[in-house]
Structure 1
């Protein structure tokens, strides 16, 4: 028997939230979600400008996307422990503050501050990445699918906007690419202010954010399958976000159009990031959804391999659908494959720690393979191989089981 204190059980003993409190919590979650990808996806369309301005190599500039992922990997496993001491609400506040500070730091005219700010915002995003799904499981237990879908949609809409407008902002702003990157600090600052009312409940809720005394997620085959799915879908997404504009510009497309192609990819991910979590919550298992996302990856990457500029939309649309569906699906695994809020946080921390460590290799390895072969073909093939492994691990992660109960015959997803 697991010796855990379930947050949801403790939460049920307290008076319910008022309608206004629920509305403010909902808005706060959505606002934080908006800040989780935009500071990263805004970099991809600016890589060529940044390289020309700083003289950095493809491999080095790829670290601007890799470092946040390394920060995710470093902080994710300890995020639940931080929440145990500070409370989920306060920990999320600190995370958004770190994002804002990191964005401002990137504006300073120094390569050192550029990378330092990138690492800091990555650490801030890591806290929200891990804790928001657990917060949703705790405070919206009967609407997990809809809330996770809304959370994912909010994240991806602003990720797409950041990709689409970062280059025009840099082109027409007197502050150039640094000014384009710092604009997203306004969004995170607004999120910070909107989250302030949630700090009032810290004193009562912090003690309930506990970690299982005898966690078994690290010894669970199912947890490792979820982790591999998390890592490889992020590996594919961040590699494409970092390098697609560069691939397209080298094929003769303008930088502005290339940026909008990346934006188009992410806009097509938006509806599926809402629909897939709802479907995942209703299906007995999610293997069919795994196979569907795999098919999207193979189709999009296969078309991208042809090198045809006229077929680029036919490549980015299925990739966008696949990445959106895969992200919405794996975040639902944090909820569907766990019994309690505590276990959900542990699984989320593990999957995002190891998963983002794997994902961090994506942009760096992608750029390295290009520099080594002077061709994008081998790099794209690398993503196809990652897609196959994603599918194999996903078939296990999508089965109707719970962490620590893989050998039980009678398990069900409620």
Structure 2
């Protein structure tokens, strides 16, 4: 139970970096003199880090242990988040990069831990930790602006406040580190053939394209709604509620996915929900905004959970799950970084967010096609070669 709670708490801290900056993006641009390109880079940088640093996760886990690696990245995540609170553009970007690198490693290791420690409760634990991912994003989207107001308009304190949950998660995780040190180290076979496997690439592209949609939401939905006429608190509240619906969908979708013969249909339906809802948030009357926010939460939250579930289900064992997770998140998040970057560039070039609808349709169509292929009930084709522990 303690292990499960600890995993959920770590997962909670892997998204506030994205949505806390989004909630305060107009204030960040005003106080720090950030232009449109800089704002786009700020929302894109952590996603790029997710892809760039994901390959390090299995290597770090083999060298210092999965538990020790998660403790280190949680503490560094707190440091990076705290650095964002200092009134400096350079430290804002540096702290964001540090936090993004730590989140990358945590993202990769969690599916492998679920496969290793909860083999009979994969759907439940996948649902819980993906729900926590959404909960962290929702909390940061909805609470960051009220926190800033409560702290007398302090932009720095509002951003750095999200270091506190990371410190708490690190403290609660420490017993798992001590427990792991008492266990004998085991050899870790090398996984061969994964990067040449067609199914592994379908899983990777599904992860990347649905993530591109997700980070468009985390990075730009609050500014989109504010531009349409909502005030900052209302826009943040709507996005927070939408992400909380994502959390509920995260808990339900893995159970549906594992009970079906395969995951093809559910992957495509969730892509459709997400794209239609984003178009509604862009163009439909504001009187219907809550309808689209709920539908978007169902679609996007379900996609996050479905992508994580597919990684686990397409893997024959925990070792392959860890490596497939690393591949999917390395390439997938580098691909996903185009989403928030292009939204910022389109907004800068066209003067509005309307043209972003075409981007959302293209990303959703790509995610649906690869989700159909990744949903087939087969395992990736890999082989393991023994490697001795040194």
* Offset at residue 52 of structure 1 (A): 0.9
* Offset at residue 175 of structure 1 (A): 5.7
Residue 75 (1) aligns with residue 53 (2):
yes
Q: Which contiguous aligned blocks of 4+ residues in structure 1 show a shift greater than 4 angstroms?
A: none
Q: Which residue matches 1:221?
A: 198
**Cα 1:186/1:214, change in 2 over 3 Å:** closer
What secondary structure, in the 3-state scheme, does the structure 1 residue paired with 2:286 have? coil
**Cα 1:337/1:398, change in 2 over 3 Å:** same
Equivalent pair of 1:87/1:206 in contact (CA under 8 Å): no
1:246-287: per-residue Cα shift (whole Å, max 9, x none)? Answer: 111112111111111111210111111001112212222001
CA distance in 2, matches of 1:78, 1:385: 30
* Offset at residue 307 of structure 1 (A): 4.8
**Cα 1:79/1:400, change in 2 over 3 Å:** same
TM-score normalized with structure 1 length: 0.89
Q: Which residue matches 2:42?
A: 64
CA distance in 2, matches of 1:209, 1:95: 23
Residue 244 (1) aligns with residue 228 (2):
no
Residue 385 (1) aligns with residue 353 (2):
no
Equivalent pair of 2:7/2:110 in contact (CA under 8 Å): yes
Q: Which residue matches 2:157?
A: 179
1:39 is matched with which residue: 6, 13, 17?
Answer: 17
**Cα 1:336/1:242, change in 2 over 3 Å:** same
CA distance in 2, matches of 1:58, 1:308: 26
1:131-187: per-residue Cα shift (whole Å, max 9, x none)? Answer: 011011101111111011111112212211110011111123136221111111110
Residue 48 (1) aligns with residue 41 (2):
no
Q: Which residue matches 1:17?
A: none
CA distance in 1, matches of 2:190, 2:164: 40
User: Aligned Cα RMSD in Å?
Assistant: 1.5
1:178-206: per-residue Cα shift (whole Å, max 9, x none)? Answer: 11111111100000100110111333557
Equivalent pair of 1:161/1:263 in contact (CA under 8 Å): yes
**Cα 1:206/1:262, change in 2 over 3 Å:** farther
**Cα 1:260/1:150, change in 2 over 3 Å:** same
Residue 231 (1) aligns with residue 211 (2):
no
How does 1:187-206 map onto structure 2 within 5 Å?
A: 187-203=165-181
Q: How many residue pairs were aligned? A: 382
CA distance in 2, matches of 1:199, 1:56: 41
CA distance in 1, matches of 2:76, 2:114: 22
* Offset at residue 76 of structure 1 (A): 0.7
Equivalent pair of 1:83/1:206 in contact (CA under 8 Å): no
TM-score normalized with structure 2 length: 0.95
**Cα 1:69/1:275, change in 2 over 3 Å:** same
CA distance in 2, matches of 1:322, 1:206: 43
CA distance in 2, matches of 1:104, 1:155: 20
CA distance in 1, matches of 2:17, 2:338: 19
Q: Which residue matches 1:375?
A: 352
Q: Which residue matches 2:328?
A: 351
Equivalent pair of 1:235/1:360 in contact (CA under 8 Å): yes
What secondary structure, in the 3-state scheme, does the structure 2 residue paired with 1:207 have? coil
Residue 333 (1) aligns with residue 306 (2):
no
**Cα 1:79/1:209, change in 2 over 3 Å:** farther
Equivalent pair of 1:266/1:324 in contact (CA under 8 Å): yes
CA distance in 2, matches of 1:274, 1:72: 23
CA distance in 2, matches of 1:314, 1:270: 17
CA distance in 1, matches of 2:184, 2:276: 46
Please identify, of 110-119 and 241-250, the stretch whose mean Cα deviation from structure 2 is larger. Answer: 241-250
Residue 258 (1) aligns with residue 235 (2):
yes
Residue 396 (1) aligns with residue 360 (2):
no
Please identify, of 38-47 and 343-352, the stretch whose mean Cα deviation from structure 2 is larger. Answer: 38-47
CA distance in 2, matches of 1:49, 1:61: 11
* Offset at residue 209 of structure 1 (A): 6.8
CA distance in 2, matches of 1:241, 1:261: 12
Q: Which runs of 5+ in 2 are unaligned?
A: 383-390
Residue 123 (1) aligns with residue 96 (2):
no
**Cα 1:305/1:252, change in 2 over 3 Å:** closer
Residue 113 (1) aligns with residue 95 (2):
no
Equivalent pair of 2:137/2:218 in contact (CA under 8 Å): no
* Offset at residue 395 of structure 1 (A): 0.4
